[in-house]
Structures are given as structure tokens and as C-alpha cells.
Amino acid sequence: MLKIESRLAQIGSIEEPVTGAVSFPIYQSTAFRHPKLGQSTGFDYARTKSPTRKVLEDAIAQLESGDAGFACSSGMAALQTIFAYFSQGDHLIVSLDLYGGTYRLLERIMSRFGVTATYVDTNDLDALEGAYQSNTKGLVIETPTNPLMMITDLELVCTWARKKGIVSIVDNTLLTPYLQRPIELGADIVIHSATKYLGGHNDVLAGLIVTKGKELSEQMAILHNSIGAVLGPQDSWLLMRGMKTLALRMERHEQNATAIANFLLQHKLISDVYYPALESHPGYAIQNKQSSGNTGIFSFKVKDARLVEPILRHIELIAFAESLGGVESLMTYPAVQTHADIPLEIREQIGVDDRLLRFSVGIEHIDDLIADLSNALDAAHAELEGASQS
Ligand SMILES: *Cc1c(COP(=O)(O)O)cnc(C)c1O
């Protein structure tokens, strides 16, 4: 098999049979002619299957070492489609430091349909055993988590789930199949907010699901078609266009993020840096074992919460914006933005407090990024000093 860099660069470029187009065409059609009664080209109606989307779906299934891929209109649409696999009375065990939108979907919507969830540190086998109930049917893992970058040993925990007979679902948004392939480590389902690194340019909203095994793949196809939160042909094309450069982008993201994390580690205004590429990170060894590199986002804490507002005001090259994984650097404030829907006591338990900032490091030149951050920190510090003297 070709190396992953080659497979990424070649997505869609060898499959268009009519013209030989190197970039796979956008088939903007919802209906497809039947050659004869009882015959089909393989495409009937675009919600069920659509040519441009299918190239993307086959590509992600192959990249993640799964059996089937499903493209959805957003990461949340993908999660909703997966959660619809469960039934009233089913229970899920879920990573504690969870993407805020996933928490909201479980607590505000799935709970009304009788699907309940318990939140634990998914790297703690005792905690998993403690949370396990006779009606537990699924395990939902993020690794690294966002924003605190907690790491779960996927092989260990997916083996535990398999023994219990429960479906393991891994949100692989932060690492992408270029760096980590959960199905190879024992997961049953992988989900992506492809809006982030896979798309990579802050310009397309999309979600992807990959399933392993015949039964799960067939069930997911029924759910995907029945729910209908599918990705359109234009966005499918745009996503593939982004994925072609994933390998190059991830390498630069990691390089830049590592350099900035080390810069912040030495900085007098910073108390903590949460990045698994640092040897001081508690998940460093597991991360090294199960993935071939690190993501481009990390979080850090300033020593004084009053620095947050002026830092966000003084960054210029780095944008104060939500989202992550694009070529442009973005910084956000999880406590009031991405994680506002998570109750204060859970947020404080895991450490998402008012001193925490999250940085999605882009692919700009490292010198410009460090200069921008350094200036913002100095300016924020000067404002605070000025305020305390007056
Ligand atoms: C953004 C994100 C989601 C949700 O995806 P959308 O594309 O915004 O709907 C889910 N999980 C993680 C880890 C994310 O970062």
C-alpha cells in the first residue's frame, strides 16, 4: 500500500472514468437515471449516495483503516448520527474533558430520548469499571481532549470495551489519521469534525464517520440515510481539496506549536502549558506510543486572570476566534466560549478555569507568531502594572 502522504495527495485523482480529470468533479445532481427497471448505476438519490461524496467517504474509510465512511454536514451531525445508534435506556461512558457541543448534545437532547451518560477520565480503568452499568452500550473517547489535552491509552481502553461488549467511539479530530488511527488500536467507530484539521482552511463545515465491521457499517449506512444530515457535493470537494495537503500542514502545525509551547513554558507570566509534546505532560509516553506526532493546538494558563482580556485585545496576527485546525492561528477563551455549556463545577474539576487560554497554532512563520504573542503578553503585563500603580 502507498504511504499515507501519497494517499492523501491522490484523493480523488484516479477515479474519474470519463474525462480522466485529476481533480474529481463536483457532481451537482440529486437524481440519477435508472438504465432500466430494476437497474441502478449505483447512484439513485443523493441523500443515500452521491458521487463526489462517495470518493471522500471511501478515502476517509481507507485512511482510518475502517470498512465504511460517511460524510455529514458537520461534526455535530456526525455525532448525532452515531448517537442515534443507541436506544432508549442505553448508557454511555464519556471522556470528562469533552468538546462542549458533544456534552450539550448528550445532556440536552439525547437525555430526552432516554440515553444517559457518565463522564469519567477515560484513561482510568478503575473509573471505567466504576461507571460501567448493565445497560452501558458505548464508550466515547477524545484523545487528546480539548482543551486540557488529556491522553487516553486507546489500545488498553478499547480492549476493555471489547471485553464488556460495548462499542468504542473515538473523536479523532485533533490528531487526524495522519497522526493517529484509533481503529488500528481497537476502536469500532471514529468520528471527525472535518471542519478542523482535515478541511484545514477555516472554510468548510463537515463531519466524518468511519466504522469497522459489517454490522456497524450497515447500521451506520441506515442511520446516515435516514437522518439525512449528509454533506453536499461542493463541500465534499472542498474537504478533499483540503485533505490533500494534510501531511504537510500537520507537520508545520506541530513544529510551530512545539516551539511556542516551549517559549511559553519559560515565560514569567505563564503558570502552566498543556501540550502532550512536552516531556512534562502526564500523557507524553502514551501519546508517543499510539500516535506518530502531535496536534497543533494546546492550552496554557496565565498566572493572573486579569491578563486574559488584554492579551486577547493585543494579539494581531493571531486572531481571537473559536475553532481550531486551520492554517490561520486562532486563540480562544474556553471558559466563556467553547465550553460555556459545561457546568462550572465540572469545568473547575477538570481545570477549565478563567486563567486558561487555548491556542490553535497555524502554519505562519514561527518568528512572526512568537513576536505577536510576546508583544501581547508584554502589553497586557504593562497595562496590569499601570493599573496597580495608579
Ligand atoms: C469542533 C468539534 C466538534 C464539532 O464539530 P463541528 O464540525 O463544529 O460540528 C466535535 N468534536 C471536536 C473534538 C471538535 O473540535
Is the CB of 171 within 6 Å of ligand 1? yes
3-state helix, strand, coil in the chain (%, to 5): 40, 15, 45
Task: Tell whether the model's pLDDT for residue 249 goes beyond 90.
Answer: yes
Q: Which of 47, 104, 164, 244 is catalytic?
A: 47
Task: Tell whether the model's pLDDT for residue 388 goes beyond 90.
Answer: no
Give the residue from 225, 235, 373 showing the smallest Cα distance to 310.
373
What's the confidence (pLDDT) of residue 45?
Answer: 97
| Cell numbers linked to 158 | 478499547
What's the confidence (pLDDT) of residue 340?
Answer: 74
What's the confidence (pLDDT) of residue 42?
Answer: 94
Q: Which of 90, 171, 188, 372 is catalytic?
A: 171
The pLDDT confidence band at residue 327, using thresholds 50, 70 and 90, is very high
Burial class (CB in 10 A: 0-12, 13-18, 19+), 38: exposed
pLDDT digit string (tens) for 332-378? Answer: 998 887 777 778 887 877 788 899 999 999 999 999 999 999 999 99
Residue range 121-132: mean pLDDT, rounded: 97
Domains defined for the chain, CATH in brackets: 4-243 (3.40.640.10), 246-389 (3.90.1150.10)
Residue range 192-214: mean pLDDT, rounded: 98
pLDDT above 90 coverage of the chain, percent: 88
Give the residue from 314, 318, 339, 337 showing the smallest Cα distance to 327.
318
Sheet holding 136-142, edge to edge: 68-72, 207-211, 189-193, 167-171, 136-142, 91-95, 116-120
The closest-lying atom of ligand 1 relative to the alpha carbon of residue 173 is: 13
- Closest C-alpha to ligand 1, atom 5: 75
The Cα–Cα gap between 370 and 378 comes to 12
Task: Tell whether the model's pLDDT for residue 97 goes beyond 90.
Answer: no
What's the confidence (pLDDT) of residue 275?
Answer: 97
pLDDT digit string (tens) for 38-78? Answer: 999 999 999 999 999 999 999 999 999 999 999 999 999 99
What three-state secondary structure class fits 108? helix
Cα–Cα–Cα angle for 303, 307, 308, rounded to 5 degrees? 105
**Catalytic (active site) residue 306:** no
Task: Tell whether the model's pLDDT for residue 213 goes beyond 70.
Answer: yes
pLDDT digit string (tens) for 256-300? Answer: 999 999 999 999 999 999 999 999 999 999 999 999 999 999 999
Going from the Cα of 145 to the center of ligand 1, the distance in angstroms, rounded, reads: 12
For residue 274, CA distances in Å to 70, 261, 306, 355 come to: 32, 8, 20, 13
Task: Tell whether the model's pLDDT for residue 245 goes beyond 80.
Answer: yes
What's the confidence (pLDDT) of residue 343?
Answer: 80
Task: Tell whether the model's pLDDT for residue 9 goes beyond 90.
Answer: yes
Which of 103, 142, 173 for a ligand 1 pocket mutation test, highest count of atoms within 8 Å of Cβ?
173
CB atoms within 10 A of CB 133: 11
The pLDDT confidence band at residue 390, using thresholds 50, 70 and 90, is low
The closest-lying atom of ligand 1 relative to the alpha carbon of residue 78 is: 9
What is the DSSP annotation of 260-290?
HHHHHHT-TTEEEEE-TTSTTSTTHHHHHHH
pLDDT digit string (tens) for 221-231? Answer: 999 999 999 99
The Cα–Cα gap between 73 and 232 comes to 7
What's the confidence (pLDDT) of residue 10?
Answer: 95
Going from the Cα of 14 to the center of ligand 1, the distance in angstroms, rounded, reads: 30
Going from the Cα of 146 to the center of ligand 1, the distance in angstroms, rounded, reads: 10
Of residues 49 and 146, more confidently modeled: 49
**Catalytic (active site) residue 171:** yes
**Catalytic (active site) residue 99:** yes
**Catalytic (active site) residue 333:** no
Is the CB of 74 within 6 Å of ligand 1? yes
The pLDDT confidence band at residue 302, using thresholds 50, 70 and 90, is very high
